[in-house]
Amino acid sequence: MGKVLASDLIKRKKEIVFVEGYFIDCANELSGAVDATQDVIHIYGDDNPILDTTANNSTLTLQVYDKAANNSLFDVLQQEDPDDTSAKQYNWNNVTQATVWANRINSANTQYTRSVLYKNWIPVPALPTGDASARGTRSFAGNSEVAKEFTQPIVGQKIALVSGASGYTGTIAYVPVQVPDESVYALRVVAIEEARTGTKINTFNTEELTITASMVAANKTVTIPQGSLVGALANKGPQYAYVNYLYDKTLGVYPALTGSGMFTTKI
């Protein structure tokens, strides 16, 4: 058995952090944990207890530097389009849940080697901290679904949907990798109905769908049956879908290989 080399130990800065598809270029901390309940059960006739652990949810802290220009993270948490340059208000009475993922890049910066996914993260809003000589930081912390890790990278993509007799169809950009130990090709599929005045989002309704084996296919086709929509979108119908999926790590890394943000018009 050989010794562990320094090159085998990856620094955290090799992780590329995305929130709903937007690269967070000023993140300096991504700290996750799993909240679990540990049970110790005693039964008659046995000296040894039965031990069990139930994972309940994950917690995630994302710390970012305050930038002179806007931070896409603020826009995502307020359902704003980061490409919209009109005046905005960040009302921290209202925070929208967001999905966060990080792809870890190799030492040559040519290929991702691992990824982690925090679905439906709801952070407590954060304001700048630091003394007069410091660069301001904000630390957003909250709960998410139990984190999942993979050995293939994650991408998120917003696609346009076409209505048909049996539902809605669209196409993702890259060939998806089947989720290990599952029969599906997507990590998340969200149906979207939106309305804008110019670039300003006025309405943004979403419904996260239960993923079936036929919803995202190996040939990149996305099919959303009408019957899979059970909320308000069942009546209006979605215009777009946002799809998170795994792709082959040999295809490349950001920004040469890129997805799209949930609130973008660039699809």
1-5, 162-166, 241-245, range with the lowest pLDDT: 1-5
Residue 1 has pLDDT above 80, yes or no: no
Residue 38 has pLDDT above 90, yes or no: no
Note whether residue 1 is domain-resident. Answer: no
Each residue's pLDDT tens digit, 50-93 = 888 888 999 999 999 998 887 899 999 999 999 999 999 999 99
214: tokens are 């036929």
38: tokens are 């540990």
Helix (H, G, I), strand (E, B) or coil at 53: strand
Note whether residue 264 is domain-resident. Answer: no
Note whether residue 150 is domain-resident. Answer: yes
Query: What's the domain range around 150?
Result: 6-251
Q: Which one-letter amino acid corresponds to residue 251?
A: L
Rounded CA-CA distance 65/219 in Å is 40
Note whether residue 48 is domain-resident. Answer: yes
221's enclosing H/E stretch is strand 221-225
Each residue's pLDDT tens digit, 217-240 = 999 999 999 999 988 888 889 999
- Evaluate the CA torsion angle 82, 84, 85, 88 in order and state its sign: negative
Contact call for residues 147 and 32 (beta carbons, < 8 A):
yes
Note whether residue 159 is domain-resident. Answer: yes
Note whether residue 140 is domain-resident. Answer: yes
Position 37 confidence tier, pLDDT thresholds 50, 70, 90: confident
Cis check: omega of the bond before 255, within 30 degrees of 0: yes
As a whole-number percent, the residues of the chain with pLDDT over 90 amount to 79
Top mean-pLDDT range of 2-16, 32-46, 178-192, 230-244: 178-192
Residue 136 has pLDDT above 80, yes or no: yes
Q: What predicted TM-score, i.e. pTM, was given to this entire model?
A: 0.93
Q: Which one-letter amino acid corresponds to residue 222?
A: V
Note whether residue 68 is domain-resident. Answer: yes
Number of domains in the chain: 1
Note whether residue 262 is domain-resident. Answer: no
219: tokens are 């040939």
User: For 248, how many CA atoms within 13 A lie in the half-sphere containing its CB?
Assistant: 6
pLDDT of residue 26: 95
